[in-house]
Chains A and B, each alone.
Chain A
Amino acid sequence: MPLEFLGNICVSFVLTLGDFVRFFMTILTGSLRGMDRFDLREMFSQMFDLGTLSIPVVMLTGFFIGAVLVIEAYPQFHALGLASRLGSVTVLSVVKQIGPVLTGVMLAGRVGGAMTAELGTMRVTEQIEALRSMAADPVRTLAVPRVLACVVMTPILTVFSDILGIFGGWLIAVHVQGINNDQFWHYARVGVDIYTINTGLIKALFFGLAIGVIACYKGFRCGNGAQGVGRACTEAFVTSFIVILMLNLVLALLLTNIYVMFWPNQAPIL
C-alpha cells in the first residue's frame, strides 16, 4: 500500500527527528555541566586527531579549488574588461563560501565517518554499556568532548583552507593570467571586510556542530554487527553533507540580512 508506506516514512522521520533533538539536548546540557580533567584530555586528543591531522588535507583541497576558481572565472571577467577585479571575487568566494563549505565537507568525510565508526564499534562491542555500568555517562565522556572538538576545530581549519585557497587563486591570477599583483590585493581588500571573514567562520562553527552531533548520534544509534557500523558511517556522512549545505543556505540568508540591518547604506557583496 503506497499510503501505508508514506505513513511509515513520515512516522519514522518524526520519531528519528525527536530522538535526535533529545540527543542534541543531552549534549548541550552535558557541555554546560562542565568537564573533568579526563573529559578535557579526551577533548584535546580529539582536537589533535580531527583538527591538527586534518590541516594538510584541508590546505591541499583549499589550494586546488582556489586555483580552479580563477582559471574558470578569468575568461568571463576578461571579456567584461574586469579581469583586474579577480582579487575581490577570489577572496570573497573563498572566505565566504568555499573555505567553510569545503572544510565542512572534508571533515564530514574524514572525521565524521571515523567518529561514527569508532562510537558504533564501541556500541556493538558493549563498550558504551560498560561505561554506563561503571556509572559513567557515555554522552558526557564520549560525545561532548568530540562535539566540542569539532566546534572549536572547524573554524580554525577553515582559516587554513581560506589562506591556501587565496594563495591558489593569487598564484594563477598573478603568475599565470598576468594580473597585476598590487591590483589583485587592492581589490581583495576592498571586497572583504571583517564581517565577511566572520561570516565564513560563523558558518564553520555551525558546520562543526552539525558534523560532531550527527556523527555521535549515528554512532550511538548504530545497528548490530559490521554491517550496522558501515551503514551508520555512510548515513553520518550523507546526512552531515546535506545538513552542511542546508545550513550554508540558511546562514547565508541570515547573515546577509543582519549585515543589511546594521549597515543599510552598504550593499552586501554577495
Chain B
Amino acid sequence: MIPPTTDTSDQPIIRFADVHKRFGSLVVLDGMSLDIPADRTTVIIGPSGAGKSVLLKHIVGLLQPDRGNVYFHQQRINELSERQLEPIRKRIGFLFQMGALFDSMSVGENIAFPLRHQGIKSEKDIQQVIHEKLAVVGLSGSEKKMPGDLSGGQKKRVALARAIAMDPEVVLYDEPTTGLDPIRADVINELILKLKEELKVTGIVVTHDMASAFKVADQIVMLLNGKIIVQGTPEQIKTMENEDLRHFIEGRANAEDLKALHRL
C-alpha cells in the first residue's frame, strides 16, 4: 500500500476572494473569485478590456482591490505596504503586455536589473544568468543592444528573460505570444511548459491566442463582465456549451457586434 502523502498542491497558491475593482465609473472586476493551483498553468481568456491585466496586477499588489481579498500562500496581500510587498514580489516574475523594458538600459542591464537590485549575486554570476536567459528566449548575443533597436517581438522576449531572471516560483504572462510570428509564439509556449515541468513554476497566462491557451493550460478560465464565467481543463473547455465562450474560442463575432457593420 502506498503511504498517504501530505499533498500541499491542493492548496491554491493564489486566491481571489470576491474581488471588486473599479476605475471611476468603470467597473472592471465585479465580485471575482478564483483559485490558482500551484505548479500548474492557468490561462485567463476574455475579450479586450475585460480586466485580465488588472487581475494580474492585483497579484503583485500593483493594484489594490476596492473590496474583497487577494491571497498569496494564504497570506492576504492587499493592504500590505509597498515595503511589506517586496518579499512577495521577489518570488513573482511579471511579463508586461508591452514588455516595459527600461529604455535607458541595454538588454543585458535590463535582465540584470532585478538581480543587481537584490544584490545577492556576484557580477560574474549575473553575466552567466544574462547569457542563459537570453539563450532561452533565442536572443543570444544581444546583451549590448538597446530596447529601442529591437522589434516588438524581440522586446517581449527580452522582457520574458527579465521576468524569469530571478527564477521566480510564479510567472505572470500578460499576452506572451501577441506580436510574435507563429513559430516564435510556439517557442514561448514550449518555454512556459518547460518552466512548469522542470522548475515547477506556477504560470498565469493572459491571452487571446487560443492555440497557445490550449497548448500550455492545465486550467482555462474566462473572464467576462468582471466575473469568471467558465472554468475547466482545456478538454472540458473545448466541449462546453456556454455561448460567450464558444464565440470567443471560435473567433466568431456575435450578431450584436455585426449590426453596426450592416448599417454601412
Contact = CB atoms under 8 A, between A and B. Distances in A.
Contacts of B86: 135
A137 interface: yes
Contacts of A136: 113-114, 117
Contact of B62 (A38, A118, A122, A129): A129
B98 A126 contact: yes
A265 to B, nearest CB: 54
Contacts of B113: 134, 136
Given A129-B57, A129-B96, A134 B102 contact: no
Nearest to A129: B62
Contacts of A36: 119
A8 interface: no
Contacts, number: 55
A137 B166 CA distance: 17
A133 B94 contact: yes
A38 B100 contact: no
Nearest to A124: B98
A154 B164 CA distance: 41
B90 interface: yes
A256 to B, nearest CB: 43
Contacts of B118: 135
Interface string A32-44: 0000101000000
Interface in A17-45: 36, 38
B89 interface: yes
A133 B60 contact: yes
A130 interface: yes
A132 interface: yes
Interface residues of A, number: 17
Contact of B89 (A38, A118, A126, A132): A132
B152 to A, nearest CB: 12
Contact of B82 (A38, A127, A137): A137
B151 to A, nearest CB: 16
A170 to B, nearest CB: 42
A181 interface: no
B35 interface: no
B116 interface: yes
Given A36-B119, A132-B62, A127 B102 contact: yes
A122 B116 CA distance: 20
Which of A125, A135, A136, A141: most chain B CB closer than 10 A? Answer: A135
Interface string A133-156: 111110001000000000000000
Given A125-B98, A132-B82, A133-B94, 10 more contacts: A125-B103, A126-B97, A127-B102, A127-B103, A130-B102, A134-B94, A134-B113, A134-B117, A135-B90, A135-B114
| Across the A-B interface, the 7 shortest Cβ-Cβ residue pairs | A130-B100, A135-B89, A126-B100, A133-B94, A135-B86, A134-B114, A126-B96
Interface of B: 57, 60, 62, 82, 85-87, 89-90, 92, 94, 96-98, 100-104, 113-114, 116-119, 166
